[in-house]
Amino acid sequence: MNSFEQQLCDKLERIRKQGLKREVLPLQLIERAKIIHDDRTYLNLASNDYLGLATNKELVARFYDDLSADNLLERFGPGSTASRLMTGNHPVNTAVETQLAALYAPHQALVFNSGYHANIGILPALSGKGDLILADKLCHASLIDGMRLSRATVNRYPHLDYDRLAGLLAEKREQYRQVFIVTESVFSMDGDMADLRHLVRLKEQYRAVLYVDEAHSVGLRGRKGLGLAEEQEVVDRIDLLVGTFGKAYGGQGAFVICSSLLVDYLLNTARSFIFTTGLPPISLAWLLFVIRQLPSMEGQRQHVQALADWLRKELAAAGLETGGTSNIIPVMIGDSGQAVQVAQRLREHGFWVGAVRPPTVPAGSARLRLSITAAMERDDLAPLPGLIAEALS
């Protein structure tokens, strides 16, 4: 082993001792929010398949009913062959963006390969030296990476502290060419929600640009499933609304909803859009299939929220500390090692639960992240509060 490899081994050992070492495991997805690992079946509480679409056999079969020799490559091709600005922009790309634009009218849409691609591409394309980004302290790592790449000045205000944000805007707005306010709508590890109406008022008062990551909200919130911005009736007042297809949509990719001018500008300047192979036709065809049905999935949305509300009450009754109000339920543990141990105990009882540890969350705030999906029922979840409380006792 050379000196470089020894350094890496030493660093990995320190990570292991801190209870922070991660690994990937072979898993098989099956129906009804279940997965198989090492020939054992678990209820999957770590999934972002919020509407249960990715593992809905009936729905997937309906999607493939349209497969024919005539559309095999056009709609079901496995590769796009190039970036979208070369030869990878197929008709189904345009169909997806057109359908999204119709839902989010009068805005336009631009599809990216992932939420990570969107967040590391959009902010650097729009902001730079001489600009200021004011971001919620608990923004996702992809947003943080995008801010770093932008070379703009970055201030991160305390989580959901809009008085502090207003103070920063009043103090700093005139010192910078442009100011961007960046937030998630539903926060991925805390399950709580931004007050988008308040943020819209602040951005309008201080002539700022509002960037909202709706990754954990699109599909689940709003009458048509367009996200928290629809629910709070501010879609048309948000400058950049980012959503992902890898969660409630049960697919892959992401999109930004914005003005036609911004779409044109990003298409020409966002490096993560320009310099990557486009999504394959089959992925886009699935997204188009789902988007067209999304407005009619109100029953699934109501079921998810009712189930999450019920489970929060049951967890609290068992003496456990939770947070948020969405379908993402954090159960606070604190110590990383103990969080891992509790998650392992739950797996012994057939529940696949993730232990979320630093640096994903702040030091000392390790937790279990329970992700409630439309494929679950109360009976599936009923044993959880008692098992968690017992494991912590």
DSSP structure string for 259-311: -HHHHHHHHHH-HHHHTSBPPPHHHHHHHHHHHTTGGG-HHHHHHHHHHHHHH
pLDDT at 270: 98
Q: How far apart are CA 192 and CA 327, in angstroms?
A: 9
Cα 261 from Cα 267, distance rounded (Å): 10
Predicted confidence at residue 120, as pLDDT, reads 98
Annotated active-site residue 48? The verdict is yes
Taking the C-alpha atoms of residue 123 and residue 112, their distance in angstroms, rounded to an integer, is 14
Q: Give the C-alpha separation, 362 to 72, whole Å.
A: 47
- How far apart, in whole angstroms, are the C-alpha atoms of residue 226 and residue 196? 14
**Which residue among 34, 117, 140, 203 is the active-site one?**
140
Name the active-site residue from 49, 131, 136, 213: 213
Q: Which of 34, 107, 247, 303 is catalytic?
A: 247
Q: What is the pLDDT of residue 88?
A: 93
Quick check: pTM over 0.75? yes
pLDDT of residue 154: 98
The residue among 180, 179, 249 whose CA lies nearest residue 214 is: 249
pLDDT at 252: 96
Lookup result for tokens 């398949």 = 49
Residue 5: how many other CB atoms lie within 10 Å: 9
φ and ψ at residue 59, rounded to 5 degrees: -65, -45
> Whose structure tokens read 């009450």?
313
**Would you tell me the crossing angle of helices 298-317 and 384-392 to the nearest 10 degrees?**
40
Q: Find all residues with CB under 8 Å of 320, minimum gap 6, and list them.
A: 331, 332, 385, 388, 389, 392
Which of 93, 188, 327, 365 is catalytic? The answer is 188
The values of phi and psi at residue 355, to 5°, are: -95, 115
> CATH for 17-51+297-392, among 3.40.50.150, 3.40.50.970, 3.90.740.10, 3.90.1150.10?
3.90.1150.10
What integer pLDDT is reported at residue 20 of this predicted model?
A: 74
Q: Evaluate whether 336 touches 382 at the Cβ level (below 8 Å).
A: no
Q: Does the annotation count 184 as an active-site position?
A: yes
User: Which residue type sits at 105?
Assistant: A
Write the DSSP symbol of residue 174. Answer: G
How confident is the model at residue 114, as a pLDDT?
A: 97
What whole-number distance in Å separates Cα of residue 226 and Cα of residue 241? Answer: 10
Q: Which helix (H) or strand (E) holds 146?
A: helix 141-150
pLDDT of residue 359: 83
Is 217 among the catalytic positions? no
Q: Looking at 216, 230, 336, 380, which residue is catalytic? A: 216
CA distance 225 to 243: 11
pLDDT score recorded for residue 21: 80
pLDDT of residue 22: 81
Query: In the CATH hierarchy, which fold is given to the domain comprising 72-295?
Result: Aspartate Aminotransferase; domain 2 (3.40.640)
Cα–Cα dist 218/245, whole Å:
9
Contact 242, 213 (CB under 8 A): yes
In a 13 Å sphere around the CA of 373, the CA atoms on its Cβ side amount to: 25
Q: How far apart are CA 337 and CA 346, in angstroms?
A: 14
Phi and psi at residue 349, to the nearest 5°: -100, 10
49, 131, 184, 231: which is the annotated catalytic residue? 184
349 is catalytic: no
Q: Looking at residue 358, what is its pLDDT? A: 86
Tell me which of 37, 48, 83, 159 is the catalytic residue: 48
Q: What is the pLDDT of residue 15?
A: 87
**pLDDT score at 1:** 81
Amino acid letter for position 317: A
Q: Where in the chain is the domain with CATH 3.40.640.10?
A: 72-295
Residues of the chain with CATH 3.90.1150.10: 17-51+297-392
Give me the helix-helix angle, 91-103 and 281-291, nearest 10°. Answer: 20
Please state, in angstroms and rounded to a whole number, the distance separating the CA atoms of residues 340 and 346.
10
Active site residue 174: no
Cα 101–chain centre separation: 20
Q: Are residues 156 and 135 in contact, defined by beta-carbon separation less than 8 angstroms?
A: yes
Q: pLDDT tens digits, the chain, 393 residues: what are they?
A: 899 999 999 999 998 887 678 888 898 999 989 999 999 999 999 999 999 999 999 999 999 999 999 999 999 999 999 999 999 999 999 999 999 999 999 999 999 999 999 999 999 999 999 999 999 999 999 999 999 999 999 999 999 999 999 999 999 999 999 999 999 999 999 999 999 999 999 999 999 999 999 999 999 999 999 999 999 999 999 999 999 999 999 999 999 999 999 999 999 999 999 999 999 999 999 999 999 999 999 999 999 999 999 999 999 999 999 999 999 999 999 998 899 999 999 999 999 998 998 888 888 999 999 999 999 999 999 999 999 999 998
What's the angle, vertex CA 286, arms to CA 282 and CA 289, rounded to 5? 140
Residue 299 tokens read as 């029953």
